[in-house]
Chains A and B, each alone.
Chain A
Amino acid sequence: DVKVTQSSRYLVKRTGEKVFLECVQDMDHENMFWYRQDPGLGLRLIYFSYDVKMKEKGDIPEGYSVSREKKERFSLILESASTNQTSMYLCASTNPGQGGPEAFFGQGTRLTVV
């Protein structure tokens, strides 16, 4: 069974802290994504990566960075957490060459910044 795993279900961090959200997939997928989900706003793309060490900004990259040193792992970094980054964060992966851009999602990380 294919799997995308996010390292934490719940996180509470203080304003100004550096925060790392980790995501690992075991499907050998080329592409990985980070979204944030807020009530009434749907899923908004923060960053995505189409290869190791390659990344592209999504729709709302401000305040975030990413790292992809290995194919299976994609990290989201909040350089200096702020309360407006309190949200649900979802990681996903795709491999369009295998039959279409179906996205496989992790279970989500609920981040609270206090």
Chain B
Amino acid sequence: AQSVTQPDIHITVSEGASLELRCNYSYGATPYLFWYVQSPGQGLQLLLKYFSGDTLVQGIKGFEAEFKRSQSSFNLRKPSVHWSDAAEYFCAVGANTNAGKSTFGDGTTLTVKP
């Protein structure tokens, strides 16, 4: 069975500082990996995704993530955080089978200090 772990429930960073959100997954084959962002009271928006190719993927809003097969990780990074990045972030693992169903982590809430 597939699963996703986001070890950090809540992270606080200062504006302008770098950010790394952790994600570990369990999956039997090569998975699709996603990061989504959710602003308060909104649905989820895709930040980036990985399936194959270059293990460092670029997304929207200046985010990037690196796939490390040996560590079963897909950590999200941003070099300089903006106040507007405050939101909840979800890592997910999915496949093209089974209706494209994804399994989501429990989320990491990011607070940005001025």
Binding site for B on A (CB under 8 A): 4, 9, 30-31, 33, 40-43, 45, 48-50, 56, 90, 92, 94-97, 100-108, 110
- Which residue of B44, B45, B102 contacts A101 across the interface (Cβ within 8 Å)? B102
- Which residue of B43, B99, B102, B106 contacts A30 across the interface (Cβ within 8 Å)? B99
Bound CA–CA A42/B38 (angstroms): 11
- Which residue of A45, A97, A100, A104 contacts B101 across the interface (Cβ within 8 Å)? A45
- The residues of A that contact B92 with a CB separation of less than 8 Å are 103
CB atoms of B44 and A103 under 8 A apart: yes
The interface bits of chain B over 40-53 (1 if a CB of A lies within 8 angstroms of the residue's CB, else 0) are 01111110010100
- The residues of B that contact A41 with a CB separation of less than 8 Å are 106
- The residues of A that contact B45 with a CB separation of less than 8 Å are 105
Q: How far in angstroms is the closest Cβ of chain A from B85?
A: 19
